[in-house]
Structure 1
Amino acid sequence: MKRFFVIDLLWVVMIVLAGWTWSWHDQNEYADRLAHFGLSEDGQVFKTDSAETLQAVAEKLTQSDVQNVQVQFQDGKRIYVWGNTSNLPLQDGQWFTQADLTSALPVAVVGQNQTATLVQGNNQQYLKQAGRFIPVIGTVGTHGNNALNDVTFFNASATDEAAPRLNAVTIIADGSGLAKAKTKLQAIFSATSDRNYSYQLTAGNSWWADNGPTILRCAGIGVLAVIIAGLTIWLMVPSSLLGMDRQLHAQLRRGLWTQTVTHTLFATVIGVTIDWWWLYLTNRVRLVIFAAGLWLGYLLIVRAGVSLRYRKGGTFDDIS
């Protein structure tokens, strides 16, 4: 019916706005992850008093058969890596291969702001460090002033005596195999303690600073859903129909209710489909749950509002 066209259009627009809200949230989460060099908040930070070399520790990690874990030994803007589980955005070249991460020959992956300092050789760029020329195999980076653009990654397996020792770096492990490997890692690092890696602790952001804007946007979309519900109630129960025969009312309302459910469900699917293919979303399940919640809440408001309006109009039957 033509009266539902406006509702359908508004509903699709609202679901697209919901998708934009979660896309914005996901992009901020991704930017945070890049600022933490690909590490998630599921990571673990290990503290140790061991003065062992990073090369020796990398060899122990390889021999221990730890899988699906990346370990970063962070020393300011220099990060020594073991474990090939990175998903950082490459601007050029490649990330470390498994062979690189067990090799005694040093190679590097640099942030895009470091490229101006590289030395160009025959079809190869080099990073000059402590009198050595280290081959650069790739460049990572992202837009803005993200910390990722300013760091340099090295394969920990090729560190020499001049590199910092284990107790002089920040040890962070992450990956899908972390829970299974945690006991092994504690032993390898001779860890005296460990804690969860937290963006709030490392970046100084509060929970509200990270999530508050998304919550406020979702609340605004919820208000819009209530407004659309009010418009639906007004369209479903025009004043000319109030006071009509009780049986005719029930039949008419059942038909309108069925149309309302099917129209908005179809509009929800269209909106989610647009979001799914058009917007950047790393967690689509969140969007689907939010959209389903909006739809169910809308139906409850419409059901209650229509019944109340009919009651005030002089007749009342449940919409069923």
Structure 2
Amino acid sequence: MVNVLLILLAIGAGLIWSLRDQSEYADILDHGGLSATARVYPTKSTKRISDVVAALANDDTVDDLQVQFGVNKTTSYIYEKGSVQKLPLDSGQFFSAADYNSTIPVAVVGRTAAENLYVGSNQKYLQVNGQYLSVIGVTGSDASPRLNNHIFINASAQGTTYNPELKHVEVLADTDDWTTVNSTLKRILGAHSYKHLANAKTQVNSTRDKHLGAFFTYLILLAIGLVIVAAINVWLTPAIKVAGGDRPLRNHYIFSMAGSYLPGAIIAIAIGTGIAWWRLYITNHVRLVGSAIVMLAIFIVANQLLMFWQLRRKERSREIT
């Protein structure tokens, strides 16, 4: 019974992390593919978007980078280099490396924005500044109405019909390697500092931590559940009679009992974690495995303490009688 309960708790832990991962992913979609660690670079530079794209494309020290030039809350010019967060597509494709070095502007639009496109000769077009841009892809998600309304246009090193100075747009960047990229971005953008994504004017407020209180409540309930299962395990474990002075025997018994239930507990939590890995939406599997290790540690500590408390209580009871 104890092992079955541990399997269920491990699956429950996976469900908690799944909900958290879904919340984080929805937040990324709300910000057009930018993660929570993305930065905003205020600049008054007169450089143009094409100058920045060309400089980044020719800089071998910069990789796995996404830069968005926010015009407003619904329109962004975007440049990507290397491996970055991909947006879900309903149809078509996202920008390729060739699009970032082309004189032809193209667009990827959200599914709601796609309803207002001009269609001609089996091709959809987006009207921007009096020009019709070919739409090469439609992105969208049920979890992000903002993404469904957003418009992305390729930021090109060759320049397009819209090529404003940096001081007229909001520059947002995202990468996994800020140690290398930060100084390069500040130099190219002419920025002296950066702000966090929460301060972006062309982005919505983060919803990532909207349910943070409930998330921690679930984790606390999970820990309480582990303690309860440990108490059941101790209750089902036959206790030896230990005289008040037999502390070595008592301690040896407590540690030896750990060897009897520990293999089953490890297998049960591993099975539950495996089911969560296989069946649930999990993006951070390292975090899932880490939580399984913490669960096992809580269960072991709770078992040992409760077993010690049970034996000490019985010792005192015999001393009184």
TM over 0.5: yes
Q: Which amino acid in 1 is paired with 2:265?
A: T
Q: Are residues 1:78 and 2:78 paired?
A: no
Q: Cα distance 1:254–1:167, how it changes in 2: closer, same or farther (>3 A)?
A: closer
Local SS of the residue matching 2:122: coil
Q: Which 5+ residue runs of structure 1 have no aligned equivalent? A: 1-5, 316-320
Q: How does 1:109-188 map to 2 (within 5 A)?
A: 109-157=108-156, 160=160, 162=162, 164-188=164-188
Letter in 2 for 1:232: N
Aligned residues: CA RMSD: 2.9
> Shift of the alpha carbon at 1:155?
0.8
Q: Greater CA deviation, 122-131 or 67-76?
A: 122-131
Structure 2 portions without partners, runs of 5+: 317-321
Choose which of 32, 47, 51 in structure 1 pairs with 2:42.
47
CA contact (8 A) 2:41 2:171 kept: yes
1:86 deviation in Å? 4.0
- Equivalent residue runs for 1:171-210 within 5 Å: 171-198=171-198, 203-204=204-205, 209=210
Matched, 1:21 2:22: no
What is the CA distance between 1:43 and its match in structure 2? 2.2
Structure 2 residue aligned with 1:3? none
- 2:26–2:144: 8 Å Cα contact kept in structure 1? no
Superposed displacement of residue 183, structure 1: 2.5
5 Å matches for 1:271-310? Answer: 271-310=272-311
| Superposed displacement of residue 313, structure 1 | 3.1
Name the TM-score, length of structure 1 as normaliser.
0.85
Matched to 2:88, the amino acid is: P
CA deviations on 1:126-148 (whole Å, 9 max, x unpaired) are: 11223322111111111045311
1:149/1:312 Cα in 2 relative to 1: closer, same or farther (>3 Å)?
A: same
Cα offset for 1:298? 1.4
Q: CA deviation at 1:256?
A: 4.5
Alpha-carbon distance in 2 for matches of 1:153, 1:265: 48
| Residue from 29, 36, 45 that aligns with 2:31 | 36
| The 10-residue stretch of structure 1 (20-29 or 280-289) with the greater mean CA deviation from structure 2 | 280-289
- Is 2:209 aligned against 1:214? no
3-state DSSP of counterpart to 2:42: strand
> TM-score scaled by structure 2?
0.85
1:242 positional shift: 4.6
CA 1:134–1:228 in 2, change beyond 3 Å: closer, same or farther?
same
Greater CA drift, 183-192 or 11-20? 183-192
Deviates most, 105-114 or 154-163 = 154-163
